[in-house]
Amino acid sequence: MAKGKKAKEEVKIFHDAPAREQRIIETLETNYMPYAMSVIVSRAIPEIDGFKPSHRKLLYTMYKMGLLSGRLTKSANVVGSTMKLNPHGDAAIYETMVRLTEGHQALLHPFVESKGNFGRQYSRDMAYAASRYTEVKLGSICTEVFKDIDKNTIDMVDNYDGSLKEPTLLPVSFPNILVNPNQGIAVGMASNICSFNLSEICDAAIAVMKDPDCDLTEILKAPDFSTGGDVIYNRDLMTEIYKTGRGSIKVRGRYEYDKKSNCIDIYEIPYTTAVEAIIEKIVELIRAGKLKEISDVRDETDKMGLKITIDLKKGTDPEKFMTKLYKATPLQDSFGCNFNILVEGSPMVLGVSDILCEWLRFRKNCIKRSLRFDIDKKSDKLHLLRGLEKILLDIDKAVHIVRETEEDEMVVPNLMKGFDIDEIQAEFVAEIKLRNLNKEYILKKTEEIAALEKEIAELSATLSSNTKIERLIEKQLKEISKKFGTERKTGIIYEDEVVEISEEEEIPDYQVKLFRTKGNYIKKISLVSLRTSGEHKLKEDDEIIQEIECSNKCEVIFFSDSGDAYKIKANNIPDCKASQMGEFIPNLMGMGSSENTLGMVATEDFKGHLIFAFENGKMAKIPLKAYETKQNRKKLTNAFSLKSPTVKIIHILEDTDMVAMSSIGKALVFNTSVIAEKTTKNSQGVSVMTPKKGSVVSDLKLLGEAGIKNVSHYRTKNIPAKGAFLREDDTGYEQMSLLDE
C-alpha cells in the first residue's frame, strides 16, 4: 500500500511540475546532434581500414573464436557471440555477415568462407537461409586483416558494458578500403565506395608511396566489381573521380548470342542492379509496345550462376537490339562514387590518391607499433639472458646461495646481491628447473644473446628509417598481390567504342495515315493495313475532317481551342485499323475535359510555315520551327492568338495560292507571300480579307482544293481586300477536299 501511495505522489509531482520551454537550437544541440554524430562515426561511414563498426566487431569475434583456422561453425554461434560486442538484434548481425560471405558474391575478396544458402548480390528476391542452417569461418585473406594484431598494432577499447576489449581499427596490411565496396547512409551525408582490383590497388599504393603526385590512371585503370560486366571508360571522368572522390561510372552487363536458338543469354549484370529489376523493366517495355523484337524473356539463373535468356523474333539484329536494351533498362547502370571515409573520427571525401596516402600513414603507424613491440619483447628476453650469463660464471655459487637461504622470499634478494643482477633477472634464475642447472643448458641459452642483439639492432634501424618501413610495406603488398590477386572480373570498354542508337533510329519507320475526326478522335493506320481495310468505324454524327500521310517517325502537333499546342511522336500513337474507333485526343494528350482540337500538323524536320486564319479576317504566318523544342515538351502554351476565333490552320512548305471564304459567300484568292512572317507564335498577324459588316471569314483552303474555275475574278495583289461573291459556275463545281482520293 505504502509503495503504491508513494508512486502516485511521484506521478502527481511530475504532472504538477511547470513545463520548461526549450529553444529549437538547444533541442538540436542536446538531442539531434549526438544522434547524428553517433550514426556518422559509429555506424554508417567506413574507416581507413575499410570496415564499419558492425563489420569489425563481427570479424574480430570470429578471430577470437579461432575461426581463422579449423572447421566451419554454425552462423548462429557467431551471431550470438558477436552480441557481446555489438548490442544489436541477431537479424541485423546476421545480415552484416551475409554480405561478407563468398556465397553472397558481393565482395571481390570475401572475408568469410561459407556453406549454405546466403542469397546473391545480383538477386533482389533470393532470400538467404536462417543462421541455424548455414556455416561459416574466416577466409584466408583475413590473415592479412589481423596481421600482427597481437603485437599492440592498434588501440583496444572496452566494449559497451566494459566486460571485453575490442579493436578501434583492424591492422589490414593492404588498402581494403578500396578493394571491397562499401555503402552507407548517415545523417546529412552518405558514402559509396566502389571496389578495385587487389593487384592494381597494391601497385597503386606502391606508386603513391614513391610519388604522391603520380598519374594513377596508368596503374589503376577502372573499378572492378564482383558481378563482372564492363565499365564504359572515360579517362577525364576517371581522373576526376580519382582526384575528388566524386563522380559516376557507367557499367553494362555482358551477353552471348546463340545463333542457333536466336536468343541472347545475359550472364553478367551491373553491380548496382538485380536480375528481377532488369526483367521487370523488359516486361514493362514489351507491354508498352517499345520492345517488339522479343518473343519471350525468362530467368534461367541456377547453381551455375546468373542467366537471363531473351528469345528474339526472326530478323532481329542482336547487336542493335542490345544497344537499345542497354539504353532502356538497368542492364546499363551507373555507380555513383562518393568516397566519404572517417579519418581519425572526422568524415572526409577524398580522392583515391589521398585515401592511399592516409592508408599508408595508418599502415606505417601499425608497423612502427609492431616493431616497438618486437623490440620490447626481445629486449626483455635479452635482459633475462644477460642475467643468466652472469650465473654461468659460477653455477655452484648460485646453488649454494639457494641452499643456504633459509626463507623462500629471500632467495631472489640473495641472488641479486650475490651476482649483481636485478629482481627480474633473479626471478628468472630462481625459476630455472634443477635439471637445467648445468653448463650446457646455460651455454645454449646465452648463445642467443648475440643473435638477439643483432635482431634488436636491425629492428631499431628499421623503426628509425622511413625508407626501410616503406620497403617493408612494398614487400608485403607484393606478397599479398601474388598470393591473393586475381584477374579483373569487370572489363573495360572505351567510350568512343560504344555504339549509341538515337531515339529516331529506334523508332520503326513505315508510312502511316492520320485521320482526325470532328468528335476529337485520332486514328493512325499503316498504309499496308489501309489497303485491305473496309469502311471507317465512327461514332454517330461523327465524321473525318482531316487526314495526313506521314512517317511513323514524324512529330504530330495538335492545336487546341485553349490556345495551346500538344506534341506527340507518331510512334507513340497506337496503331489501329479502320474498323476501330481510334484514340480520344484529349485523353491521349492530357488535355482539359472542355478542350477541342482545331487542327493537326505532322512533320519530321519542322520546315515550312503555319497559316492561321481568324474570323476577323486576319491571318498569321508562323514558321513551324517556332514549335520545335530541344526537350520533349508535351505542351506549348500561347501557341497562337485567341483574340479572334480560329477558322483554319494549314501547314505549307512554301508560299502558295489560297482561297479565303466569308460567311456570306465571298471568296478571295491570294498568295501567302503577301503575308509577312511573324516569329511570335501568338501573333494575330495581318488583315487579309475584310469581311462585310455582320459576316466573318468562314473557311480557308488551298487553291487547288477549292474547285474555283475563274481564279482571276477573285485574285488580289494587295491585302486587305473584300473579295468577290462566288459566281454560279464556280459554286457549281464539286468541291475537292482532303478526303478525296
In the chain the domains, ranked by start, together with CATH numbers, are 45-172 (3.90.199.10), 254-330 (3.30.1360.40), 357-479 (1.10.268.10), 507-555+562-593 (no CATH), 605-741 (2.120.10.90)
CA distances from 38 to 35, 48, 96, 565 (A): 5, 18, 19, 55
| Cell numbers found for residue 526 | 499503316
Beta-carbon contacts of 148 under 8 Å, excluding residues fewer than 6 positions away, are 171, 366, 370, 373
Beta bridge partners of 231: 251, 492
pLDDT-above-70 percentage for the chain: 94
Looking at residue 504, its pLDDT comes to 56
pLDDT over 90 at 47, yes or no: yes
CA distances from 299 to 63, 103, 267, 279 (A): 39, 20, 11, 8
Backbone angles phi, psi at 21, to 5 degrees: -70, 135
Query: For 442-466, what is the mean pLDDT?
Result: 88
Residue pair 171/147 in contact by the 8 Å Cβ criterion: yes
Give the tens place of pLDDT for each residue, 231-243: 999 999 999 999 9
pLDDT over 80 at 225, yes or no: yes
Query: For 289-313, what is the mean pLDDT?
Result: 91
Looking at residue 19, its pLDDT comes to 56
Q: How confident is the model at residue 16 (pLDDT cuts 50, 70, 90)?
A: low
pLDDT over 50 at 736, yes or no: no
Q: How confident is the model at residue 501 (pLDDT cuts 50, 70, 90)?
A: low
Q: How confident is the model at residue 77 (pLDDT cuts 50, 70, 90)?
A: very high
pLDDT over 70 at 622, yes or no: yes
Looking at residue 296, its pLDDT comes to 94
The one-character DSSP state at 575 is: B
Q: Which H or E run includes 143? A: helix 142-145
pLDDT, greater one: 577 or 12: 577
Most confident of the ranges 420-429, 440-449, 596-605: 596-605
Looking at residue 121, its pLDDT comes to 93
Looking at residue 20, its pLDDT comes to 63
pLDDT over 90 at 594, yes or no: no
Q: How confident is the model at residue 729 (pLDDT cuts 50, 70, 90)?
A: confident
**Which amino acids are annotated catalytic?**
133
Give the tens place of pLDDT for each residue, 680-704: 888 989 999 988 888 899 999 998 8
pLDDT over 70 at 257, yes or no: yes
3-state secondary structure of 598: strand
- Rounded to the nearest 5 percent, the helix, strand and coil shares of the chain are 40, 25, 40
Looking at residue 723, its pLDDT comes to 87
Low-confidence winner among 370-374, 465-469, 485-489, 723-727 (lowest mean pLDDT): 723-727
Give the tens place of pLDDT for each residue, 174-218: 999 999 999 988 888 899 999 999 999 999 999 999 999 999 998
Beta bridge partners of 724: 667
Residue pair 56/49 in contact by the 8 Å Cβ criterion: yes
pLDDT over 60 at 246, yes or no: yes
Give the tens place of pLDDT for each residue, 355-387: 999 999 999 999 999 999 999 999 999 998 888
Most confident of the ranges 83-87, 113-117, 551-555, 726-730: 113-117
DSSP 159-207: -TTSSSEEESS---SS-HHHHS-EEEE-SS-EEEE----HHHHHHHHHH
CA dist 608 and 610 (Å) reads 7
pLDDT over 50 at 10, yes or no: no
- What integer best gives the mean pLDDT of the chain? 88
Looking at residue 445, its pLDDT comes to 77
3-state secondary structure of 90: helix
DSSP 483-531: HH----SSEEEEGGG-----HHHHS---EEEEEEETTSEEEEEEHHHHH
pLDDT over 70 at 741, yes or no: no
> 162: phi > 0 → left, psi -120 to 50 → alpha, else beta; which?
left
pLDDT over 90 at 107, yes or no: yes
Low-confidence winner among 272-281, 431-440, 605-614 (lowest mean pLDDT): 431-440
Cβ count within 10 A of residue 356: 24
Judging by DSSP bridges, how do beta strands 246-252 and 230-233 pair with one another?
antiparallel
Q: How confident is the model at residue 735 (pLDDT cuts 50, 70, 90)?
A: very low
Q: Is the peptide bond before 270 cis (omega within 30 degrees of 0)?
A: no
CA dist 392 and 395 (Å) reads 6
Looking at residue 740, its pLDDT comes to 37
pLDDT-above-90 percentage for the chain: 57
| Cell numbers found for residue 130 | 536462417
